[in-house]
Amino acid sequence: MLSSFVLDYLYRKNQREAEMILRSVLVDNSFNVKLSGFEITGFYDNEATKEGIKKLFANIHQSALYTSEISTKMLHISSWILAIGFIVVVTSLFLGFGNSLFSLLVLKIWLSYVVVGHYLELKHLSEKSNYICHEAKRIWAYRLENGENGTFIADALAVSLLYETTLSESEILLSTKIKNKYNDQLEEQWIETQHRYELAE
């Protein structure tokens, strides 16, 4: 039996392989099957939700919520790093150190993927996952009024695929430190979502 922290370790060690495992676990958990050969505990909090498309979408929504909140907080940190690097570069140029080895090194690092690229990747992930959360709420609200008809299923699958595509495109490893720090708050948000949209019904 694997716990969620083992999955986190695997993800950081081999991201692509771990993504395949996570998708298999998602299917197993959502449809109450054991196709992957893995039994995961503590990864989703939707045991009260009936197996099927509804539970799949609930699992995706919960993952998107965590991704949105964690990536947004990581983006704030990355913004400060970007700003500090910019200030150092501008200050060096202003003081006449533009041709110094130090200034060139700082400028190269600042313009590299390490700073600018990482910031842009985080921004994309944060915006996309936030959009997915908003769409998920819209779809759950639709379900409350119209039931689990074809439109609900189609929308739920479309948003689920969008989330999985977003993760595949992103090369960002979400911060475990931030997740642990805000885990209780995130769990409360998800419980509130479960009650609001009657996900246990």
The domain of 59 spans 1-6+51-197
Which one, of 158, 166, 149, 144, lies nearest residue 56 by Cα? 158
How many domains is the chain partitioned into structurally? Answer: 1
Q: Is residue 33 part of a domain?
A: no
Instruction: Examine residue 69 and state whether it is found in any structural domain, yes or no.
Output: yes
Tell me if 135 is assigned to some domain.
yes
pTM for this one?
Answer: 0.81
What are the pLDDT digits (tens) for 100-117? 565 556 556 555 556 677
Whether 87 is in a domain gets the answer yes
Q: Please report whether residue 113 resides in a domain.
A: yes
Token pair of 72 as six digits: 């947004």
Q: Which helix (H) or strand (E) holds 1?
A: none
- pLDDT band at residue 139, thresholds of 50, 70 and 90? very high
Asked if residue 159 lies in contact with residue 57, where contact means CB atoms within 8 angstroms, the answer is yes
Residue 31 is assigned to a structural domain of this protein: no
The enclosing H or E element of 3 equals: strand 2-3
- pLDDT per residue as tens digits for the range 52-103: 999 999 999 999 999 999 999 999 998 887 777 666 666 766 666 555 565 5
